Amino acid sequence: MLFEDHGLTSTEISTLFIIWSATAFLLEIPSGALADVFSRRKLLMLGPALTGLGYAAWITVPSYAAFALGFILWGAGSALISGTYEAFVYDELAARGATAKYAGLLGKARSASLIANLTATLLAIPLFAAGGYLLVGVLSVISCLAQVVVAASLPEATRVASAEETDPEAAAHSTGGWRGALERYVVMLRAGLQEASTSRVVRRAVGLVALLGGFLAFDEYFPLLARGVGATTTLVPLLIAGTVAAQAIGGALAGPAYRLPAAVFAVGLGATAGLISWGSLSGTAAGFVPIAVGYGVMQLVIVVADARLQDAIEGPARATVTSVSGFFAEVFAVSVYAGFALGAVWVSLPVLVAGLTVPVLITALITPKVLPPPPKKEEV
């Protein structure tokens, strides 16, 4: 709406989204390696700061160039946080001998994030009525600054291993200054990519987490699905809110469910495919009840898979490995979008949503083989 109201065409708006996605794609893995070399806490401060600068550009100089700059900054900020956040939390817990709490903590954090996003979306309506884009933009910048403050207050434990310990031979020939920093960065980048590609357990976990993350692209089409079954403009947000609430509940239950056998999560994903398909083909607003339940179960499996990936990583480049999964999650999400775009030529949206649950079902079938087991309790 902001872009359209400032004279941008649909084509120009589409190019902005391309710029945003391309920035996130290009920086996802490199930013992970950055988090394995430099202070993760400072990167968690820099990420929202860049996003806030992007919002500030939008409201101070509302033009195509400023919008493009804002999306570049937003994409860079998101990339800096992706992978860094998970690695930071896991290593902090590891330093305290409390990694068993990671799944529950991650699930609660993501649930809180979903609720906060839903609340912000609902508040946008009265805020826009009170102060237009300027007020909404200013509050968005303030929220980013609040994230910077929170990140600055976090502790930061000593790393498991440095780049020098990871590759002593490279360290022996390393120089100081920026060149030395670049050499340490390359060492960590190589270590992360090597573990993600050569460790069988980690490689499978990275693929599973990426697949599951890509499936979250489904919710982009839920508003269209709701309108398609005749939901009013007022009812659509409520139906979407139901799916978000279910995700929050599913994430919160990930901690207690963490140690369940992989077969249980496979059954859950199979049920997710069936529930979303059933709901989308129902042709009524009531179909969003099974959709919400299915989405909640999938969120639970996603958090558990994320946590087990962290437990499976043994090398020092934790953020890099995590960013590899984030990168491929974006690739799979784009595949989902492409599937919708191509399929819409021949079939209706409800049939498309139902049809694209087939990959979810296939993922359920392979989950028992690719989901790493939880660590033994005495090892946690």
Domain boundaries in the chain?
A: 1-159, 200-380
Q: What angle do CA 215, 217, 220 make, to 5 degrees?
A: 145
In eight-state DSSP terms, residue 375 is P
Helical spans, DSSP H, in 199-257: 200-215, 222-228, 235-252, 254-257
> CB 318: neighbour CB atoms within 10 A?
29
Predicted pLDDT of residue 20 = 85
Six-digit token string for 362:
């296939």
Q: Which amino acid, 239?
A: L
Enter the DSSP assignment of 348. Answer: -
CATH for the 200-380 domain, from 1.20.1250.20, 3.90.79.10, 1.10.3720.10, 1.10.3860.10: 1.20.1250.20
Rounded CA separation 277/357 (Å): 7
Domain pair 1-159 / 200-380, same fold: yes
Cβ-based neighbour number of residue 215 at 10 Å: 25
Under a CB-based contact definition with an 8 Å cutoff, are residues 321 and 303 in contact?
Answer: no
Q: Does domain 1-159 have CATH number 1.20.1250.20?
A: yes
Cβ–Cβ < 8 Å for 2, 132: no
CB-CB contact of 368 with 305 (8 Å): no
| 70-99: b (≥16 Cβ within 10 Å) or e | bbbbbbbbbbbbbbbbbbbbbbbbbeeeeb
Q: State the residue for tokens 């939008």.
A: 58
Percent of the chain, pLDDT > 70?
93
Give residue 172's pLDDT. Answer: 46
Q: In one letter, which amino acid is 312?
A: A
Residue 22's nearest CA partner among 331, 335, 319 is 331
What is the rounded CA–CA span in Å between residue 33 and residue 45? 17
What is the pTM (predicted TM-score) of this model? 0.85
| Contact of 354 with 287, CB cutoff 8 Å | no
Which residues, given as ranges, of the chain have pLDDT below 70? 158-178, 180, 377-380
